[in-house]
Structure 1
Amino acid sequence: MKTPALCPLDGRYGGRLGALRSVMSEAAFTASRVRAERNWFTVLSHLKLPRFASLSAQETDLLNNLLPLTEQDLEVIRALEFDGYEKIPATKHDVKAVEYFLKLRLKNTPLKDRLEWFHFALTSEDINSAAYAMLLADGVEKALLPALENLQKNLAQLARKEARSVLLARTHGQAAVPTTFGKEIRVFEARLSRQLQELKQRKVSLKFGGAVGNYNAHLAAFPKVNWASAARRFVTSLNKGRKIKIVLSPISTQVDNRDTYAELFDNVRRINTILLGLSQDMWRYISAGLVRQKTAAGEVGSSTMPQKVNPIDFENTEGNLQVADALLELFSRKLPVSRLQRDLSDSTVLRNMAVAFGYALTAYLSLSKGLSKILFDRKAAQAELSAHPEVLAEGVQTILRAAGYPNPYETLRDFTRGRKMTPALWQEFIEGLAVDGPTKQRLRALSLETYLGFAVQLAEGKYD
């Protein structure tokens, strides 16, 4: 852990986030800009433009070898932006620094006479839009989705394992009817599954039409070229090997509308909302003694109360999800709005997308850890359920309703409400009913352990 770290994502939680850091860090962002510049250069080489000969195999290799960037490459790009490098003054402009870096890297190669084709007809936002699209797609595909898919798998396994473990369901915090722990876990798994399917189908858009999206410079230089087709070819080059695809916005200002960003962030927030509910319910089950946590030798739950085993993983999940959601909601509200053709207030906001993903990923990993340590206490759950025989009232009144018994709901309400019910009271009530033999037999057969409806089947994933 880096103690001087300003943010816990680089300090306390840093060791967990390698998968995300590799695709959404500042270094990854710089590499994505290089990839965008390189791929556009390659697209231009196929357009048969004057003074731009087709690339040879050697020249293609030179371009391919620009990536991955080394630490020295990153230092050069940083120096070009902030300090100046090899008699080039500091650009104070991140994208221009990348352009100059490419020209420096290739100035003594067979490409030296074509260096001005880098960043041809583009505005910085074309490169940044492509780079951010790659970062978002990679962040979802390579960091968030693996963690979420693992979480979904663990929830499905837990639901099956505890499919028959009876549990007292509570509505409004009050005893309601019997259910099973597995079925209640399956509720969250099913909701997560639906949102994951949507997330896997998300696309991230970019714009690539120049200063205000009209291809002004492109057409001024080469009016007969189909520049929209060239832009689509560029996007295709970015999608090789990707599951989360990038798409071209056909019409834009200087910036992409980022509606796809908002859709993606809202999708992640829906996932986080589901997991927040799960974390809070697990906290409640632990608090009620229905779920126990495995202990590890030497771990401390409280600095003063040595007996405590706190639900820290679920609490950590809750807090980190809320931080992530606060940022994601800001992004969804802020990024699709830009004054006129563009204002720069989005720049610093965009740089924090990885932060939101970092807190979300930290939460997913904490939740998986917490779930791996829980044990459902079937005896405690059975004892709690047995203490509330009144929850059979729903079943009793429904059987009576089906049998045509007069005012069954009101009869049960008056008999059970506010009364401490016992099995003996139920037996007395049932035996005193003026109903036919089969109806009375169905009433006698009701039990807390079997009045479960389809809970077991639902927990096992059988919804039909």
Structure 2
Amino acid sequence: MSLDTLTALSPLDGRYASKVAALRPIFSESGLMQRRVHVEVEWLIALSDEPGISEVPSLSGAAREFLRDLAVNFDIEAARRVKAIEATTNHDVKAIEYWLKEQIGQHAELGPLLEFVHFACTSEDINNLAYALMLVDARDQVLRPRIGDIRIQLAHYATTYAATPMLSRTHGQTASPTTLGKEFANVVARLDRQLRQLDTWQSPGKINGAVGNFNAHAITYPNVDWPTLSERFVTSLGLQCAPLTTQIEPHDGVAELCDLSRRIGTILIDLSRDIWGYVSLGYFAQALKPGEVGSSTMPHKVNPIDFENAEGNFGLANALFGHFSEKLPISRWQRDLTDSTVLRALGSAFGHMLVALDSLAKGLGKLRVNEQRLADDLNNSFEVLAEAIQTVMRRYALPEPYERLKALTRGQGITPDRLREFVDGLELPADEKARLRDLTPAQYIGLAAELARRV
């Protein structure tokens, strides 16, 4: 069976293939190979810049450009050649080393330096840096911009509907009113906290040999300051140097990014479910698309499928992120290989998250606020003013304010006239009594509008 979007095993390469295209250059096997090549050529250049390694003279500008072009121009044909070499070596990083030696073997300046390709490196020296670069690219090029777009949509709703009254529901029951904009602003505030951490997250990396002690390095060039060279090299890649490791960089940084991504996903699941509920209540309508069907049997249906799709895919992403953050920092003794196969699935987690973000953005773009439905709910819920009345009664030391309002309103609806009758019987200053008599649920929104506009 030929590989096609209709025959793909994973929906990320099938049904959702077009939605995750931005991640393919990053998390595909070819993307991993390209970053391995990048690390390898930069390491060779770094060795040439170290005065204590006389056997690798400082490279000319042309040689440096030649090496860097190997990484920049690494394409699918190069990836296929690496795979052909791997078929013999049965080792993916060694295949990269041999491919590089093929590329520079006939180069006049680089040819004599063949054995300094992958010098003193264990495979994990290359892999951890390659994966770190992948994660940085995923954050900067895909994840952060997409979440930023969602934030812009939510902030627009927050400010546009900052003063639009809406009935709250706590425990599913009517509660003190809020505004539609304030509820969107709550989500923006939660996202902003996570985005600040996402923006400052740094991916650690290491290049210190088979068990993290520079054994091979120090025995070959004992006069070179390898820890300093290592730190200089790792930071030159835009990464944070991890100075103390076993054979593997312990993946705590990967876990941090996964936990951050999972928290963002959880916040947006919460949002998706709330909007789903508000659509059900009629607070939102959804823009109609000609030809679109909501149900195969019920012609009237306009389902909130974008929010359902978002919730499902955030859930899948979070399940994977959770496994990564729990599993990857654990490795037996100086290393076991369980991280290798797990790391290859990183793209699946980000893929499901990207599908979810796309669905959520699409759903948000379809929303149409039904202000009449919002107003009707408020006008039918005068019992929510019990809080306002009993709190003012407390100010003026009236007896048993909470208990009296509880007896009047708990578990039952109440008409505006009955509530006004209750207020008329209170021993309150005339201006306070008038204020409470005229109060409606739509007016009882506290500082919601002001708070909403802060985003």
TM-score by length of 1: 0.95
**Deviations for 1:181-226, whole angstroms, at most 9, x for unmatched residues?**
1111110111001111110100111121100000000001000001
Q: For residue 71 of structure 1, report the CA deviation from its aligned partner.
A: 2.0
What stretches of structure 2 of length at least 5 have no aligned partner? Answer: none
> What is the alpha-carbon distance in structure 1 between the residues aligned to residue 77 and residue 270 of structure 2?
46
The SS at the match of 1:265 is helix
**Deviations for 1:360-403, whole angstroms, at most 9, x for unmatched residues?**
11111110110000011100011011111100000000011111
Code of the residue aligned with 1:69 in structure 2: it is F
Residues 11-30 of structure 1 mapped to structure 2, 5 A cutoff = 11-30=14-33
Residues 251-290 of structure 1 mapped to structure 2, 5 A cutoff = 251-290=244-283
Q: 1:60 aligns with which of 59, 64, 67?
A: 64
> What is the alpha-carbon distance in structure 1 between the residues aligned to residue 82 and residue 67 of structure 2?
17
Code of the residue aligned with 1:345 in structure 2: it is T
**Partner residue of 2:341?**
348
**Deviations for 1:101-150, whole angstroms, at most 9, x for unmatched residues?**
00001111121111110000000000001101001111111110010001
Residues 306-345 of structure 1 mapped to structure 2, 5 A cutoff = 306-345=299-338
**Partner residue of 1:242?**
none
- Contact 1:39 / 1:237 at 8 angstroms: preserved in 2? no
Q: 2:86 aligns with which of 81, 85, 89?
A: 81
**Partner residue of 2:99?**
101
- Contact 1:400 / 1:439 at 8 angstroms: preserved in 2? no
Residues 48-447 of structure 1 mapped to structure 2, 5 A cutoff = 48=51, 49-66=53-70, 67-82=72-87, 90-110=88-108, 111-239=110-238, 246-447=239-440
**Partner residue of 1:9?**
12
Q: For residue 442 of structure 1, report the CA deviation from its aligned partner.
A: 2.7
> What is the alpha-carbon distance in structure 2 between the residues aligned to residue 342 and residue 418 of structure 1?
62
> What is the alpha-carbon distance in structure 1 between the residues aligned to residue 10 and residue 341 of structure 2?
16
> What is the alpha-carbon distance in structure 2 between the residues aligned to residue 236 and residue 115 of structure 1?
25
> What is the alpha-carbon distance in structure 1 between the residues aligned to residue 360 and residue 412 of structure 2?
40
The SS at the match of 1:17 is helix
> What is the alpha-carbon distance in structure 1 between the residues aligned to residue 147 and residue 303 of structure 2?
24
> What is the alpha-carbon distance in structure 1 between the residues aligned to residue 405 and residue 56 of structure 2?
88
The SS at the match of 1:362 is helix
- Contact 2:316 / 2:349 at 8 angstroms: preserved in 1? yes
1:44 lines up with 2:50 in the alignment: no
Q: For residue 18 of structure 1, report the CA deviation from its aligned partner.
A: 2.0
Code of the residue aligned with 2:172 in structure 1: it is G
- Contact 1:29 / 1:131 at 8 angstroms: preserved in 2? yes
**Deviations for 1:38-88, whole angstroms, at most 9, x for unmatched residues?**
000000001131322211122112112102212221111010001xxxxxx
- Contact 2:235 / 2:241 at 8 angstroms: preserved in 1? no
> What is the alpha-carbon distance in structure 2 between the residues aligned to residue 60 and residue 208 of structure 1?
20
- Contact 2:207 / 2:234 at 8 angstroms: preserved in 1? no
Larger mean Cα displacement after TM superposition, 404-413 or 13-22: 13-22
> What is the alpha-carbon distance in structure 2 between the residues aligned to residue 329 and residue 419 of structure 1?
44
- Contact 2:166 / 2:442 at 8 angstroms: preserved in 1? no
Structure 1: which 4+ aligned runs deviate by more than 2 Å?
none
- Contact 1:403 / 1:439 at 8 angstroms: preserved in 2? no
- Contact 1:204 / 1:247 at 8 angstroms: preserved in 2? yes
> What is the alpha-carbon distance in structure 2 between the residues aligned to residue 52 and residue 372 of structure 1?
58
> What is the alpha-carbon distance in structure 1 between the residues aligned to residue 15 and residue 321 of structure 2?
22
Q: 1:33 aligns with which of 18, 36, 40?
A: 36
**Deviations for 1:145-181, whole angstroms, at most 9, x for unmatched residues?**
0100010011000111111211110000000111111
Code of the residue aligned with 2:247 in structure 1: it is Q
**Deviations for 1:299-332, whole angstroms, at most 9, x for unmatched residues?**
1111111111111100000000110001101011
Q: For residue 264 of structure 1, report the CA deviation from its aligned partner.
A: 1.3
- Contact 1:23 / 1:138 at 8 angstroms: preserved in 2? yes
The SS at the match of 1:449 is helix
TM-score by length of 2: 0.97
Q: For residue 298 of structure 1, report the CA deviation from its aligned partner.
A: 0.4
Q: For residue 439 of structure 1, report the CA deviation from its aligned partner.
A: 2.6
What stretches of structure 1 of length at least 5 have no aligned partner? Answer: 83-89, 240-245
> What is the alpha-carbon distance in structure 2 between the residues aligned to residue 422 and residue 121 of structure 1?
82
The SS at the match of 1:167 is strand
Code of the residue aligned with 2:232 in structure 1: it is R
1:458 lines up with 2:444 in the alignment: no
User: Which structure has the highest helix share of the two?
Assistant: 2
- Contact 1:206 / 1:256 at 8 angstroms: preserved in 2? yes
The SS at the match of 1:326 is helix
| Shift in alpha-carbon separation, 1:35–1:446, aligned structure 2, 3 A | same
What is the number of residues matched between the two proteins?
A: 449
- Contact 2:157 / 2:181 at 8 angstroms: preserved in 1? yes
> What is the alpha-carbon distance in structure 2 between the residues aligned to residue 434 and residue 225 of structure 1?
88
Q: For residue 454 of structure 1, report the CA deviation from its aligned partner.
A: 0.5
